[in-house]
Amino acid sequence: MKVLKFGGTSVGSPENILNVKKIVESQNEPVVVVVSALGGVTDQLLRTAQTAARGDASYTDEYEGLVRRHHDMIDAVIPTPEKAAVIERIKPLLDELGNILKGIYLIKDLSPKSTDIVLSYGEGMSSIIASGLIAGSQWFDARKLIKTWQQYTKHIVDFELTNSLIHTAFEAVPRISVVPGFISSDRESGETTNLGRGGSDYTAAILAACLKASQLEIWTDVDGFMTADPRVINNAYVIDKLTFIEAMELSNFGAKVIYPPTIFPVFHANIPIVIKNTMNPTAPGTYIAREVESDPGKAIKGISSINDTCLITVMGLGMVGVIGVNYRIFKALANAGISVFFVSQASSENTTSIGVKNADSDKAIEVLEREFAPEIKQGEINRMKKECGLATVAIVGENMKRTPGIAGKLFGTLGRNGINVIACAQGASETNISFVITLESLRKALNVIHDSFFLSDYQVLNVFLVGVGLVGSSLLEQIRKQREKLQSNNALKINVVGIANSRKFIVNREGIDLTGYRELLQVSDRDSSPEGLRDEIIGMNIFNSVFVDCTASPQVASIYKELLEHNVSVVTANKVAASAEYEKYAELKQISRKRGAKFLFETNVGAGLPVINTIGDLINSGDHILKIEAVVSGTLNYIFNVMSETVPMSRAIRMAMEAGYAEPDPRIDLSGMDVLRKLVILSREAGYRIEQADVERHLFVPQSYFEGTLDDFWKNIEKLDAGFEARRKELAAEGKRLRFVACYADGKAEIGLREVDSNSPFYHLEGSNNVILLTTERYNEYPLQIKGYGAGASVTAAGVFADIISIANIR
């Protein structure tokens, strides 16, 4: 035989309760059906009783609502021939309930005993409706089966008496039995009691254990235990199998699928539990047993959380070495009816922190300060300290006890995302690591843990992009085209959650449609500014955040520091930050290392060429860079490559602009500032302290051409054509070419034109290609050469894209 429990929204609507009928009548073996109150009725009953206790006559309206609710359900689901019989059974219960509520109204008092009686009517009436609906069923009164005794404010099951009564009642097991959940009675007086929160689950487990059922099925409104709260984690999924221990741990820390005490009777009887969905009966659900097969590649099964946490700390040197302090703490709280769900103690014994509900915090402080009043007075123990508005998170999985480094990975992951752990606890069983954080960090913590411990099918990076010009728009298009492949082949999801241009910005935590972002920007009512973007990103507090800068703006670069301090990684094609004052550059690098947030700027030199990463690999592996020589201006290289008898320098400059290599104001490229900044960045990454002012500039365009307006520049630039053509011819005759070269060697940095012959690696550069030569202690006689496209929106965007992907540590 099996025991099936239906509760909550499973019996909350006519459609659902008709599903219950189908499920029960389709069983091929005897079943005991345990039924909760109709969805929401328990809360309705309590509210109505409280209204009556206040002396508010409107309780009668609420009572009439309860009457209508049950009559409407009978009309909707009970066939006409059986309706009268069901109504006849329900009417005395409704009349009794009305009389009890009237009595509460008259005396204006709602005692615990009266509350128990009022609440019992929900399950009583719903089970009668279910029994009338299910053909061939027999109804049993749970008060005659489950007996309790009182301990403090709770009703404790007398299992010896209860089991005896169940065995007697079910000596001949009917084909279908219907039992109201939650309800019980006192073993001495016979007065109605209840089993407390989750009591219907407990009723079902007690019956299953006593009757030695083949399995206990808990039919609810979800497909089973989820890896995390699906309201917070979009890609949370159903856990197919759990051990009893794992299910209990998840339930204790907020997973509301089943009530923790439910597990104990069936655990001891070794009866499996299956969690099923009444609205989706074909779903396999979650199977819970003493031993189950699990994926060895996943150390944890699920994450659970309690978002109603107050941490109370008992602290004092007088606690050290004193026996019985914790006994007194928990005894005092238990006597006051305060539940403790989290405990953390310092190994020095001078601090014990406990987690309670926020509503219980003041009472807990009062109780503990009364218990330790003598010690507080003598200064041996401090006044109790409380911190409310917190959340408790637990990661659960029996595989953790066979996997070293789980705690390190957990806290490292939280730290890199800027989540501070206030207190933590882990039992010797290693099946649960629980910790307390601020409530504001809960969503971020759940997402990043779910992501990092492979509970998700893919890792997520949440990208905020600023700058949708040539590079930025190309990057968004590359992400759009590659996103599906990355997700399927590399288990990486690039989620663009923010886009900004110089005027407007848009954000969407769930992700922005990259096919229509320009239209969204046009209609956005949110003005764009670096400070506004910074505040929005930090305020969203989203996990695995990456800020991508595809501008050349110093103002945008100025917000990097605060973003890194809030554990937001920064990927930038903007050279301003890495080439600014050395102290600012070094500070950003230091914050990045300290916070575990990436500061990546590979495309600052060579667009998509792997220059900075190569330098880093050389340095980190113990090499020493002695000399840097580089042609790193795709614009200038293009200009000198296309100059010929028929293409003078002024025309070559215009061609560079038309090809998209040069800036709208080509003087920016001709001034050599771009090359200077790149040399500064390369030298710094090679380990040298250098400022922009330290670089000698040997320019080929006189300084006067950089003064005045852009129109002035175009009017005068042709004056240089003849001189450059004469020099080009002379060099061509000698088999040489002009290249604008950056060089750092022996503590000296310089940029300028260099005449190179065919033996030079710079000679054969085509188009806008770049080449970087690194002379090191290892690559001494033959320098390491990095060569390829060094300009263009698509290759620069690809380099930025590669930096973004590298944050996820995939290959």
The model's pLDDT over 369-390, given as tens digits with 9 standing for 90+, comes to: 999 999 999 998 999 999 999 9
The model's pLDDT over 637-681, given as tens digits with 9 standing for 90+, comes to: 889 999 999 999 999 999 988 887 777 789 988 999 999 999 999
pTM: 0.73
Task: Place 318 in a pLDDT band, splitting at 50, 70 and 90.
Answer: confident
Strands 625-631 and 2-6: unpaired
The model's pLDDT over 253-287, given as tens digits with 9 standing for 90+, comes to: 767 788 777 788 999 999 999 999 998 999 999 99
Q: Would you say 572 and 549 are in contact if contact means Cβ atoms under 8 Å apart?
A: yes
The per-residue pLDDT for 810 is: 56
Tokens 């009572």 -> residue: 63
Kindly tell me the sign of the dihedral angle through the C-alpha atoms of 4, 5, 11, 16.
Answer: negative
Q: What residues does 275 pair with on adjacent strands? A: 218, 286
* CA 292 centroid distance within chain: 28
Query: Each residue of 79-115: b (16+ CB within 10 Å) or e?
Result: eeeeeeebbebbeeebeebbebbeebbeeeebeeebb
Q: Kindly compute the dihedral angle of the four CA atoms of residues 138, 140, 145, 149, in this order, to the nearest 10 degrees.
A: 160
Task: Place 752 in a pLDDT band, splitting at 50, 70 and 90.
Answer: very high
The per-residue pLDDT for 428 is: 67
The per-residue pLDDT for 345 is: 86
The per-residue pLDDT for 401 is: 80
Whether 811 shows a pLDDT value over 60: the answer reads: no
Cα–Cα distance, 477 to 480 (Å, whole number) = 5
The model's pLDDT over 699-721, given as tens digits with 9 standing for 90+, comes to: 999 999 999 999 999 999 999 99
Q: How wide is the angle at C-alpha 19 spanned by C-alphas 17 and 20, nearest 5°? A: 65
Whether 766 shows a pLDDT value over 90: the answer reads: no
Listing from the earlier edge strand, what are the strands of the sheet with 192-194?
154-157, 147-151, 183-186, 192-194
Cα–Cα distance, 295 to 218 (Å, whole number) = 24
Whether 304 shows a pLDDT value over 80: the answer reads: yes
Q: Is 377 a catalytic residue?
A: no
Q: Would you say 665 and 683 are in contact if contact means Cβ atoms under 8 Å apart?
A: no
Q: Which of the following is catalytic: 276, 385, 678, 748?
A: 678
Helix, strand, coil fractions of the chain, as percent rounded to 5: 45, 20, 35
The model's pLDDT over 684-694, given as tens digits with 9 standing for 90+, comes to: 999 999 999 99
Mean pLDDT within 736-747? 95
Tokens of 579: 């080439």
Report the percent of the chain where pLDDT is more than 90. Answer: 73
SS3 145: coil
* Rounded alpha-carbon distances, angstroms, from residue 64 to 53, 61, 91, 123, 508: 17, 5, 13, 18, 45
The per-residue pLDDT for 455 is: 63
Tokens of 163: 């089991």
Whether 160 shows a pLDDT value over 60: the answer reads: yes
Kindly tell me the sign of the dihedral angle through the C-alpha atoms of 397, 401, 407, 410.
Answer: negative
Q: Would you say 442 and 449 are in contact if contact means Cβ atoms under 8 Å apart?
A: no
Q: Kindly compute the dihedral angle of the four CA atoms of residues 327, 330, 334, 340, in this order, to the nearest 10 degrees.
A: -150
Spell out the residues 6+ positions from residue 112 whose beta carbon is closer than 8 angstroms to its own. Answer: 153
Whether 809 shows a pLDDT value over 90: the answer reads: no
Q: How wide is the angle at C-alpha 662 spanned by C-alphas 659 and 663, nearest 5°? A: 125
The per-residue pLDDT for 72 is: 93
